[in-house]
Amino acid sequence: MDHRQHPRVPVNPPARARFQLEDQVHHGIPIVNIGMRGCCINTPRPLADLLVDHPVLKVWQLKGPGLPTKSVKARVIWVGQDGGPSGSDFRAGIQFQDSPMGFSSLIFRYVTMRSHTIPRGGRGVDPG
């Protein structure tokens, strides 16, 4: 069950996440959707298992057109199977924390612009 209180929009063109987990840096992680307080990422099983065990993500960065480039701290809120055809893909819900000045306004601008460019009847804003 989804308990989001802020809308999310699909990320298009594709964007990626980069973050530090323990002492290792992970990069090129696909972002599925994004909202004011967080996003959802696709991840293979080995990384999903690590995210469950170590939910604090240091030096979280968004990589994509129109997204803020400043680093934030983030936290894994949930991890679950994607339900795709392979059954081996996982998704993780990420919550942004300790955002620097300007980060939230750039996310707001991105979400607002994306929500107005999605055609009616399409998969647009996820009202969670």
* CATH superfamily ID and name for 8-114: predicted glycosyltransferase like domains (2.40.10.220)
For 49, phi then psi, to 5°, come to -65, -40
Name the residue ranges covered by the structural domains of the chain: 8-114
Percent of the chain whose pLDDT exceeds 70? 80
Q: With bands split at pLDDT 50, 70 and 90, how would you rate the model's confidence at 2?
A: low
State pLDDT tens for residues 78-96: 999 876 655 568 999 999 9
For the entire predicted model, the pTM comes to 0.82
Rounded CA separation 15/20 (Å):
17
For 114, phi then psi, to 5°, come to -65, -40
Q: With bands split at pLDDT 50, 70 and 90, how would you rate the model's confidence at 41?
A: very high
Residues 10/117, Cβ–Cβ less than 8 Å = no
Q: With bands split at pLDDT 50, 70 and 90, how would you rate the model's confidence at 61?
A: very high
Rounded CA separation 29/17 (Å):
5
State pLDDT tens for residues 102-126: 898 999 999 888 876 655 444 444 4
Q: With bands split at pLDDT 50, 70 and 90, how would you rate the model's confidence at 13?
A: confident
Question: Residue 93's beta-bridge partner residues?
Answer: 40, 78
Q: Give the single-character DSSP code of 100.
A: P
Residues 110/34, Cβ–Cβ less than 8 Å = yes
Average pLDDT over residues 45-60: 93
